[in-house]
Amino acid sequence: MIAFTVAILTIVFVNEVNLEYCPHPELCPYLDNSGPSNSSEYYVDVSVGRLAFVSSLSSTISFALVASLMTLYGYVVAKQMLRASIQCNKKATLPSPYYMSTLIRILNAEIVPLWDTLSRFCQQPHRSYKGHSFGKQFTTPRVFRLCRAVFVLSLFSSLCIQIADTYLHVVIDATSVTRLLPELNVEHQLSKALAPWYFQDDGSYGTNHSKLFWSNALQFIAEDTLRSANTSLFTQTIHKIDSLVFNYTDAQGFASRTNTPSLFGKIDLNTSFPLNLTSQDSDAIFSNPWRWLGKTEIQSDKSDLTAPFLNSTQLLWAARFGPVFLLTCNTTVFDVSYSVINNQVSSLTTSKSNGSVAGMVSMHSLNSLSGMDVGRNQVVFEINENRTTPDAFIRNFELSMSKVMSAPLVVHTVPVSAGLVQRRATKVITKLPKLALWLLVASNLLFALLGLVLAVLALKATSPDTRQIQIRLSTAGLAAQLFNPRHAQCKVKDDSNLFKENWRDGQVANEVKVGVRRTSAGGVEFTKHEAVDKARPFDEEDTLVLRQTHTL
């Protein structure tokens, strides 16, 4: 039972699934994000059938082990009977023939005599018998009562295992859960980093000038030709981009943000927006954020404008261009770290990029380089189609220009491994109530404890004499005493040696046959037939055959 208990506990705790386990806590903002959890149940990554099979092993053999327990207790019974038989004042406590036969049957783990004795005990609990040789009244022999109690306790322990195992089979269930499993970062290229050619000075990629000037726009001016990277800047990015399907990401990248408040009232013609070009470091050369002047016109006649635009003080009515917005724009480039859980961004943190990264955007955005003319024109067209109010018009311009200015970041960066990656996996596992498991464990340990106690008592009672008595406290012992009385008196190793037919030693042994016959009283009695069917030939004459029949 201890082995079965250790086996099922090992299976449960080795394969136990913690539904609240998260490989990366940064990606688990909520404890219940991975699924429901119940402290009164174990979730085991083993099939229901396999776990139920292992748990039922102890209940399968528990009834068979009751016979082993009674065999151990047979040594105690043998010692008690030996002591009572030796001491004169104890002979009255010896069992009668009926109780002796019932005692042997109980030691053989037969349930029918136990039921019979319990029925008699319940009907006549104070029944007494006349001692034929001692002339004293005595109740059920103590040795019989103790043996019966041990047998009942053994059956009760086995029954507890049966009940616990049945309860476990009833409440155990298969359930589908979602688990969080770690993934290798290199398998998920979800972050962005600067392209490797920015770190090369051989002139074959990007610029071969100082690394403080990482913008390919400068090289474009010098060579008067478009590079493939610059060409891709004209990709339309202002349309709505569908979110990618991410279930498990924590990645890094770059982004740009543009704020464009309008110039209210009269324009200060003395306001200047000079470039901050120095030779000290990249942050001084390419400011982040940087300011620039934006102009976007309303592509509509004045008669077609709605009241919010006609009454707005943010519009500048120019005779040549019509109504326009003059905007003082402020653009910032960020390093972004974000987490995506179940297709939704759960966290996003930003920090300002250094000047080298910011220069990738600011240099391309110069009007003199015309790097973003197509993007600006597309922005103006798109926001005019969906204009509602001046404030909404400006917000759409901010968002669209931020997307346009993100294009250089996309072009001049390459995918790299995500910072943290974990995967959601749905699997069918076993839901095992803790009560069912520990009831089975307690029942197994109770049975094992009873076996341990009986083993200790058997060891203390063991002696050569008690061993011989214990061998004869069985059906084999009674049969040998009845049919081989002389041979049954010999010292034997086990019950098979109680019979003479198992002691041939190469010599001819008399064969004893057991039969039955009717009696004049209407009953039946056993008969013993002894015969010498084979004898050594004498003077080559016929073999002498002797037969003898005994009535028992």
Cα(44)–Cα(14) distance, integer angstroms: 9
Taking phi first (over 0 means left), then psi (-120 to 50 degrees means alpha), and beta for anything else, what does residue 287 get?
Answer: beta
Is 484 a member of any domain? Answer: no
Is 167 a member of any domain? Answer: yes
Q: Could you read off the pLDDT of 211-239 as tens digits, one per residue?
A: 444 444 444 444 444 444 444 443 333 33
Cα(280)–Cα(278) distance, integer angstroms: 6
Instruction: Give me the phi and psi of 307, to 5 degrees please.
Output: -60, -40
**DSSP three-state, residue 515:** strand
Residues 434 and 552 placed together within one structural domain of the fold: no
pLDDT at residue 263 is higher than 70: no
Q: Could you read off the pLDDT of 66-103 as tens digits, one per residue?
A: 988 988 998 898 888 888 888 766 677 788 888 888 88
Taking phi first (over 0 means left), then psi (-120 to 50 degrees means alpha), and beta for anything else, what does residue 550 get?
Answer: beta
Residues 337 and 363 placed together within one structural domain of the fold: yes
Q: Could you read off the pLDDT of 491-517 as tens digits, one per residue?
A: 888 877 777 777 765 454 567 788 888
Q: Residue 275: which pLDDT band, with cuts at 50, 70 and 90?
A: very low
**Upper half-sphere CA count for residue 15 (Cβ side, 13 Å):** 18
What are 317's two structure tokens?
Answer: 């009515």
Closest listed residue to residue 434, CA positions, set 1, 13, 2, 7: 13
Is 298 a member of any domain? Answer: yes
Closest listed residue to residue 488, CA positions, set 515, 505, 512, 462: 512
Measure CA of the first residue to CA of the last residue in the chain; give whole Å: 45
Least confident of 159-168, 389-398, 487-496: 487-496
Residues 261 and 356 placed together within one structural domain of the fold: yes
Contact 369, 298 (CB under 8 A): no
Closest listed residue to residue 71, CA positions, set 160, 154, 156: 154
Residues 513 and 397 placed together within one structural domain of the fold: no
- Per the structure, the count of domains in the chain is 3
- Beta partners for residue 179, in sequence order: 425
Taking phi first (over 0 means left), then psi (-120 to 50 degrees means alpha), and beta for anything else, what does residue 423 get?
Answer: beta
Residues 126 and 6 placed together within one structural domain of the fold: yes
Is 479 a member of any domain? Answer: no
What are 65's two structure tokens?
Answer: 């082990």
Contact 495, 474 (CB under 8 A): yes
Contact 512, 483 (CB under 8 A): yes
Residues 295 and 444 placed together within one structural domain of the fold: no
Residues 66 and 211 placed together within one structural domain of the fold: no
Cα(117)–Cα(151) distance, integer angstroms: 12
Is 433 a member of any domain? Answer: yes
Is 182 a member of any domain? Answer: no
**Can you count the helices (H) and strands (E) in the chain?**
15, 15
Closest listed residue to residue 498, CA positions, set 521, 524, 542, 468: 468
What pLDDT is recorded for position 459?
92
pLDDT: is 10 or 125 the higher one?
10
Closest listed residue to residue 158, CA positions, set 435, 446, 437: 446
Residues whose CB falls within 8 Å of the CB of residue 73, separated by 6 or more in sequence, listed in order:
107, 147, 150, 454, 457, 458
Cα(432)–Cα(453) distance, integer angstroms: 32
What pLDDT is recorded for position 448?
92
Residues 71 and 197 placed together within one structural domain of the fold: no
| pTM as predicted | 0.60
Residues whose CB falls within 8 Å of the CB of residue 31, separated by 6 or more in sequence, listed in order:
20
Q: Could you read off the pLDDT of 167-206 as tens digits, one per residue?
A: 999 999 988 888 888 877 777 777 877 777 666 554 444 4
Cα(25)–Cα(311) distance, integer angstroms: 52
Residues 195 and 248 placed together within one structural domain of the fold: yes
Residues 402 and 381 placed together within one structural domain of the fold: yes
Contact 70, 154 (CB under 8 A): yes
Residues 168 and 194 placed together within one structural domain of the fold: no
Is 363 a member of any domain? Answer: yes
Is 43 a member of any domain? Answer: yes
What domain range includes position 193? 189-416
Contact 420, 27 (CB under 8 A): yes
Residues 82 and 168 placed together within one structural domain of the fold: yes
Q: Residue 422: which pLDDT band, with cuts at 50, 70 and 90?
A: confident
